[in-house]
Structure 1
Amino acid sequence: MKKSIIIIALASLAIACGNKKSNNDGGDISELTGAISIDGSSTVFPVTEAVAEEYRNEQPRVKVTIGVSGTGGGFKKFSRGETNISNASRPIKDKEIESCKENNISYVELEVAYDGLAVLVNPENTWVDNFTVEELKKIWEPAAQGKIMKWNQIRPEWPNEEIHLFGPGVASGTYDYFTEAVVGKSGSSRGDFTASEDDHVLVQGIAGDKYSLGFFGLAYYTENADKLTLIGVHNGTEVVKPSLETVRNGSYTPLSRPLFIYVNSSSVKSPEVVDFVNFYLNNAGELAEDVGYIPLPKELYTKQKENFKSFVESVK
């Protein structure tokens, strides 16, 4: 009888140990359960999705769902407490901060990668090899609507053909960033362009129209390089195309930027959210590069981990 009890006890111990996993801070945790809701930027989506896929291998009983409402749409849900984490391709705006305050939501901002905005034309476009920022402003500023309609209005040697414009929707952080960097005011542009929160729609539009011009995140160009032509932008000194190297070294200016996730205070009371965010910060560098983005320097990831740890401790 004693022998049977010992065998059962050892078996139970083995099962318990088998259900232990090493968490992202080096300790042991039991296998987690629960759900994590994420929404926001389509630009940050590929990084977060890559992290989530890897995390599901570590914690298969945690359900991670990721929506794509654009940065602005994501912050609306986040400020109402509908999501745990918000993907953002720009910092949170004052009005979004106020919405969070009204709903007693505090949060931490964490940088996860860098991105360059790609300026793109159709492969049949043989006349454009670069733009100046001033030329992009002339095309996209509000005053251009109904006036700057043809390619030869930008440079006389270009064709006397209509420019067909494609870009992210106005709720997109990519749209906000591009308009601020090029036009000089976030959210300010002409309105007569084909807009979509789905970057794949923009890819299809540009790829199917010889006289098209558009912009979106560099990673989506990388995925579709065979369908599009990437155009260099003059940074004031030289013409530079976005790449891992030119975004990292700062020469692709002004169209490069940091990408973020935001985590709210009530969510970090759930161990699965804390574990997921730690996993994210530990793996974002490698996974961001895998999907076409630029990792932060290691010391910046260390800083993000410290910021998150402090935030979690302040909430407890």
Structure 2
Amino acid sequence: MKKWQVLGTTVIGASLLLGACGNGGNGGGDSKESDAKGEVKGDGSSTVGPIVEVLNEKFNKKYPNITVSSATSGTGGGFEKFIAGETDFSNASRPIKPEEKKKLDDKNVKFSDFKIAQDGVTIAVNKDNDFVKELTIDDLKKIYSGQAKTWKDVNPKYPAKEIKAFSPDQSHGTYDFFSEEVMDKGDIKAEKNADTNVIVQSVKNNKEGIGYFGYNFYEQNKDKLKEVKIKGKDGKAIEPTKKTIQDSSYALSRPLYIYTNDKKLKDNKAFGTFMKFVLEDKGKSAEKAGYVALPKKDYDDQLKKLKDLTK
């Protein structure tokens, strides 16, 4: 039976407390592993959150005696709790920042990162927008820097209608990714919100709206929105699909992570069992959640890494 507990309200709305069991940091094969007990705590990215929810549903069925909790405070908020020692793992939609790493180093906390899926930050406009079909990175920079006030400022062929730009707020790894990849770490001038569902609705409700979010949020709302192809450095306008996200030909592709506390991973057998389960899933849960699995070899390589960490 599933155990549910509200841990935070973000995009997912609630996180899961779900049972699982295992024996040993490497997951082991002991016939007694279903008798193991333990607790594992995580927090972080609302983009990664849906993947962890699907993983936990599977994990609960196989391992009913270990409790895994996963909240969604955003990538930045998750790292704050990870640094404070409040969690075993931290879900992230961007790599850890140097200043976050330094705080962990100052506390002599060793950590590892595991890539669990691939995502493509999707640019979407209102469904009734019949003129924007593709944009360049420079176009996006004009829009989100505030340089372009109207669509005509982006392209003289577009109408002189005021742009309504929407963005995740600074608690999101998606915001950081966009700031770095599109804005050259410059400020994002847009209406910001912590809840990605609000951003989706804002674009849906504004004929001149534009927003960005993880691929699965577009997939879940593609009847309400219109995706925009993005021109990469090679000049090709490419839309986000499972294929273009996995091979990174889509310009705004990115990996999704789970960061682990190495000492807790080694000492907490339930935690090692959970991480082994995550990697042995080989992206099936990511696909079910609307994201893209990594190549199989990537999971195999990371299972070897996990085995070394849990010896």
Q: Which TM-score bucket, shorter chain as reference?
A: 0.7 to 0.9
Q: 1:204 to 1:284 in 2, by over 3 A?
A: farther
**How far has the Cα of 1:310 moved from its partner?**
1.3
Structure 2 unaligned runs (5+)? 1-20
Q: Give the match for residue 178 of structure 1.
A: 178
Q: Give the match for residue 224 of structure 1.
A: 221
CA distance in 2, matches of 1:95, 1:305: 28
Matching of residues 178-217 of structure 1 within 5 Å: 178-185=178-185, 188-191=186-189, 193-217=190-214
State yes or no: 1:234 paired with 2:231.
yes
**Number of residue pairs aligned between Structure 1 and Structure 2:** 286
Q: Give the match for residue 296 of structure 2.
A: 298
State yes or no: 1:79 paired with 2:76.
no
**How far has the Cα of 1:32 moved from its partner?**
2.6
Q: Give the match for residue 156 of structure 2.
A: 156
**How far has the Cα of 1:21 moved from its partner?**
7.0
Q: Give the match for residue 124 of structure 2.
A: 120
Larger deviation, residues 63-72 vs 212-221: 63-72
CA distance in 2, matches of 1:136, 1:21: 47
Contact 2:34 2:64 in 1 (8 A): no
Q: Give the match for residue 263 of structure 1.
A: 260
**How far has the Cα of 1:30 moved from its partner?**
4.0
Contact 1:218 1:242 in 2 (8 A): yes
Report the secondary structure of 2:123's partner residue: strand
CA distance in 1, matches of 2:73, 2:22: 33
Q: Give the match for residue 17 of structure 1.
A: none
Contact 2:22 2:36 in 1 (8 A): no
Contact 1:108 1:308 in 2 (8 A): no
**How far has the Cα of 1:240 moved from its partner?**
0.6
Who wins on radius of gyration, i.e. which is larger? 1
- Higher helix share goes to which structure? 1
Matching of residues 270-285 of structure 1 within 5 Å: 270-285=268-283
**TM-score after normalising by structure 2:** 0.87
Q: Give the match for residue 45 of structure 2.
A: 41
Code of the aligned partner of 2:278: Y
State yes or no: 1:95 paired with 2:92.
no
Q: 1:292 to 1:30 in 2, by over 3 A?
A: closer
**How far has the Cα of 1:22 moved from its partner?**
8.3
Report the secondary structure of 1:183's partner residue: coil
- Which residue of 283, 307, 310 maps to 1:309? 307
Report the secondary structure of 1:266's partner residue: helix
Could you give the per-residue CA deviations for residues 46-78 of structure 1, whole angstroms, max 9, x where no partner exists? 111111111111122222221111111111110
Contact 2:34 2:65 in 1 (8 A): no
State yes or no: 1:53 paired with 2:53.
no
CA distance in 2, matches of 1:22, 1:262: 21
Q: Give the match for residue 168 of structure 1.
A: 168
Contact 1:115 1:294 in 2 (8 A): yes
Report the secondary structure of 1:201's partner residue: helix
Could you give the per-residue CA deviations for residues 194-227 of structure 1, whole angstroms, max 9, x where no partner exists? 2223211111111111111010100111111111
Contact 1:25 1:278 in 2 (8 A): no
Q: Give the match for residue 10 of structure 2.
A: none
Q: Give the match for residue 26 of structure 1.
A: 29
CA distance in 2, matches of 1:90, 1:78: 15
Larger deviation, residues 25-34 vs 61-70: 25-34
**How far has the Cα of 1:237 moved from its partner?**
2.9
CA distance in 2, matches of 1:285, 1:218: 15
Larger deviation, residues 98-107 vs 292-301: 98-107
RMSD: 1.7
Code of the aligned partner of 2:42: I
CA distance in 1, matches of 2:202, 2:56: 29
Q: Percent identity?
A: 36
State yes or no: 1:288 paired with 2:286.
yes
